[in-house]
Copies of this chain bind each other. A is one copy, B any other.
Amino acid sequence: MNNPAITKIDFKALKYIADGGAILGSGGGGDPYVGRLMAQQAWGSNNTVAVIDIDELPDDALILPIAMMGAPTVMLEKFSSGEEIPKLISMMERFLGKKVAAILCIEAGGLNSTIPFIAAAQMQLPIVDGDAMGRAFPELQMVTFTLGGIQATPMAMMDEKGNGATFDTISNSWAEKLARALTIEMGGAAMVSLYPVTAAQCRNYLIRGSLTKAHRIGQIMAEHGANACAALVEEFDGTHLFQGRVRDVNRVSEGGFARGTVKLEGLGDFINREITLSFQNEFLIAREGDNVLATTPDLITLLDIFSGDAVTTELVKYGLPVNVLGLPCDPIWQSPQALEIVGPRYFKLDYDYKPI
């Protein structure tokens, strides 16, 4: 990627990041429209947020990720009260006995690329250009930090009613298990802060430049509209996996996740073909019969044929014509150790990971 790094984000630039984040969200990470509305509500029009490189921070600077956790189907309807983030940050600062120096985006996504900017604006803090997934994943232990042995806890959680909780767990999988149970009880989605890291810890495991990348993707979408898919394939070494119309959607909310499958029947060059996508918040696999087109951790994203916008798993519906874009994941996810936590077999899909 040879685009210049972004350094300042205003509300217009945030729209690019939300739209681009939704592409990187691989079907999850929340809806960019919701992300934008939340930002508008919390942010007003006068704010800008400074985006910084991790190397600008001293080793001991405390960096705090902020995100919304829960099923995207719920996030779509459950708005933040605007008070969760300042409360979360003060809970974490109190717990850690240290002031926060910068905000971090834990995953890419239409909503979860936007929320850290709301936090940064509210708290007048800079935001680090990067994230810990390079995409969205459904479970909280699925971050590069876990590969580095960094703890998810102390972790704090707030709902829009004003209920808060903190966690201190023996593993990141236990943090996922406990936080997921509470998310369900809080109504299916909650605001969280987790993986408090120092800049030194962060340097080795951050997926750098992902905000610049999301921003660039958003720009391309604005420029190319319906042709965004082809433009993104070209600029980001992607693959145009399929073009088709949604024939079936099976969607259930279980265990705090949105799970299901989507069947597409081919259009254009793909006529008379049919593929099936499975998802748990995010798309996990695209198959044509037993032939795997792409699997997690690579990115699988649907784009509306007419608008070029990302179609998240909670918004896929019968009849919608879409392009299926495959993008390579960050190389950090391709090691056997990484595939154990984010590869298809973790999700009980009986296929090997085959990079696109």
**Chain A interfacial positions (CB closer than 8 Å to B):** 91, 161-170, 174, 177-178, 181-182, 184-186
Whether B170 and A167, one on each chain, are in contact in the complex, defined by CB atoms closer than 8 angstroms, is no
Q: Please, which residues of chain B bring their CB within 8 A of the CB of A178? A: 163, 165, 182, 185-186
A184 and chain B: residue at smallest CB distance: B181
Whether B166 and A165, one on each chain, are in contact in the complex, defined by CB atoms closer than 8 angstroms, is yes
Q: How far apart are the CA atoms of A163 and B168 in the complex, in Å?
A: 6
Whether A181 and B170, one on each chain, are in contact in the complex, defined by CB atoms closer than 8 angstroms, is no
Whether B165 and A168, one on each chain, are in contact in the complex, defined by CB atoms closer than 8 angstroms, is yes
A169 and chain B: residue at smallest CB distance: B163
Q: Please, which residues of chain B bring their CB within 8 A of the CB of A162? A: 169-170
Which 10 residue pairs are nearest across A and B when measured between Cβ atoms? A181-B185, A164-B168, A162-B170, A166-B166, A163-B169, A181-B181, A165-B167, A163-B174, A178-B185, A163-B170
Q: A181-B181, A184-B181 are in contact. Are A167 and B164 (CB under 8 A)?
A: yes
Question: How many chain copies does the complex carry?
Answer: 2
- The smallest C-beta distance from A81 to any residue of chain B, in angstroms, reads 12
Q: Please, which residues of chain B bring their CB within 8 A of the CB of A166? A: 165-166
Q: Please, which residues of chain B bring their CB within 8 A of the CB of A161? A: 170, 174
Q: Please, which residues of chain B bring their CB within 8 A of the CB of A184? A: 181
- The smallest C-beta distance from A263 to any residue of chain B, in angstroms, reads 34
Most-contacted residue by chain B among A161, A162, A185 (CB, 10 A): A185
- The smallest C-beta distance from A92 to any residue of chain B, in angstroms, reads 12
Q: A181-B184, A185-B181 are in contact. Are A169 and B174 (CB under 8 A)?
A: no
Q: Please, which residues of chain B bring their CB within 8 A of the CB of A91? A: 168
Q: How far apart are the CA atoms of A177 and B184 in the complex, in Å?
A: 11
Q: Please, which residues of chain B bring their CB within 8 A of the CB of A167? A: 163-165
Q: Please, which residues of chain B bring their CB within 8 A of the CB of A170? A: 161-163
Q: How far apart are the CA atoms of A199 and B152 in the complex, in Å?
A: 37
- The smallest C-beta distance from A266 to any residue of chain B, in angstroms, reads 43
Q: How far apart are the CA atoms of A177 and B187 in the complex, in Å?
A: 11
- The smallest C-beta distance from A138 to any residue of chain B, in angstroms, reads 17
Q: How far apart are the CA atoms of A182 and B182 in the complex, in Å?
A: 7
Q: Please, which residues of chain B bring their CB within 8 A of the CB of A174? A: 161, 163
Listed A/B pairs (14) with beta-carbon separation below 8 Å: A91-B168, A161-B174, A162-B169, A163-B168, A163-B169, A163-B170, A164-B168, A165-B165, A165-B168, A165-B178, A166-B166, A177-B185, A178-B182, A181-B181
Q: Please, which residues of chain B bring their CB within 8 A of the CB of A163? A: 167-170, 174, 178
Given contacts A163-B178, A177-B185, A181-B181, 19 further A-B contacts (CB under 8 A): A91-B168, A161-B170, A163-B167, A163-B168, A163-B169, A163-B170, A163-B174, A164-B168, A165-B166, A165-B167, A165-B168, A165-B178, A178-B182, A178-B185, A178-B186, A181-B182, A181-B184, A181-B185, A182-B182
